Chain A
Amino acid sequence: MTVPLALLGLLEREPSHGYDLKRDYDTFFGRGRPLPFGQVYSTLGRLSRDGKVTGQSEPGDGPERKRYAITPLGRQEVATWLAEPVAAEPYLQTVLFTKVVLALMLGRDAAGYLDAQRATHMRRMRELAEVKRGGSLTDALLADHAMFHLEADLRWIDVTQARLGALAETVRAS
């Protein structure tokens, strides 16, 4: 859901062509997952249909180009979106918790799973630390965001590991 709003936000900064919008999106938000051109134009088409952007054709020698600009309605949507906090989603927690509980339920090695998960998380933490060392400020801040989430998972893994015995009793008793 963030692609249309990110494109609207970029258009609030300045009117733009689809090609330039894609380039800006990839630069700021793409992070190895560039936005397909098809998605850019289909999104702009929907935003235009909903009255959030306008597209002005520009004459030229080559194929017709449209310059897109945000409308007051689009501007309002960006303002509302930016003011709303994102739901505090538990991210991976559900998956990790399910795996631990199922492992205990089935008499499998839950501690081993947590160790393996911890090692995987730490490996990713190291990769992100490397990104921070060699990257730009935007790379570093995005890496930070990921690292703080991984860190939260790691703390949960530690706490769960320390309480695995009690959790096993609870799971087996119910």
Chain B
Amino acid sequence: MIIEAREVSRSYGSTPALREANLSVAAGEVLAVMGPSGSGKSTLLHCLAGIFTPDSGEVWFDGRRLDTLDDGRRSELRRTAFGFVFQFGQLVPELTAADNVMLPLLLGRTRRKHAERRAAEWLERLELGDLGGRRTGELSGGQAQRVAIARALVTRPRVVFADEPTGALDSLTGEHVMDLLVGLAREEGATVIVVTHDARVAACADREVMVRDGRVCDPYVTGAVR
């Protein structure tokens, strides 16, 4: 397993969001995490990605305990081993598409020339070869999400976390974005964990789990809570 949550609980004040949630994801797997709004699926994603620390339970990444790492080491792990795609891209609108894609490389102290070349390669793979110089605030929703995917994959992450990556897109554009995300992640051998309430997005994954009331349910084991 590349990443695991073991009995993970997390609350916001007195409101529990995750209740002893368990989840194992194999290397190279594409997993969809589904569930109603407020079920805890995004909190689970944030705990797995080391953005949130669980109140109790453990998170393991590639044989290492992640939740006990200090902020600096978790932050480094997020920069080097993980990639992120969010619903609204969270790109820097004043920067160009190429600058946005380069950002994680420059933060990791990659030389600028090399970063520029890598960003250009990835923009090409995302069918955005001629838009590298465009500010991301001027791009369409689908183009911006493709820039976000390029930024997520440019560091060659082991795991890509995507939280409703097509939530703001129409169905055709969303489908194209998902095809690119899943196709390129597979080419790179990266694991993808995608949070979605959209069955068409989940259909791009190898399997799906449901989060209900903070617990992870495996729909293939009737009524079972893992």
Contact = CB atoms under 8 A, between A and B. Distances in A.
B222 interface: yes
B187 to A, nearest CB: 14
A117 to B, nearest CB: 9
Interface in A115-167: 115-116, 118-119, 121-122, 125-126, 128-129, 133, 147, 150-151, 154-155, 158, 162
A129 B223 contact: no
Given A122-B208, A133-B179, A162-B36, A154 B199 contact: yes
A31 to B, nearest CB: 19
Interface string A85-126: 000000000000000000000000101110110110110011
B66 interface: no
A125 B222 contact: no
Interface in B191-205: 199-200, 202-205
Contacts, number: 43
B165 to A, nearest CB: 16
B200 A122 contact: no
B219 interface: yes
A151 B199 contact: yes
A122 B222 contact: no
A128 B223 contact: no
Nearest to B223: A112
A125 B203 contact: yes
Nearest to A119: B219
A152 B204 CA distance: 17
Contact of A126 (B36, B203, B222): B203
A118 to B, nearest CB: 5
14 contacts: A109-B222, A115-B217, A115-B219, A115-B222, A119-B220, A121-B199, A122-B208, A122-B219, A125-B199, A125-B200, A125-B203, A129-B200, A129-B203, A158-B36
Interface of B: 36, 179, 199-200, 202-205, 208, 210, 217, 219-220, 222-223
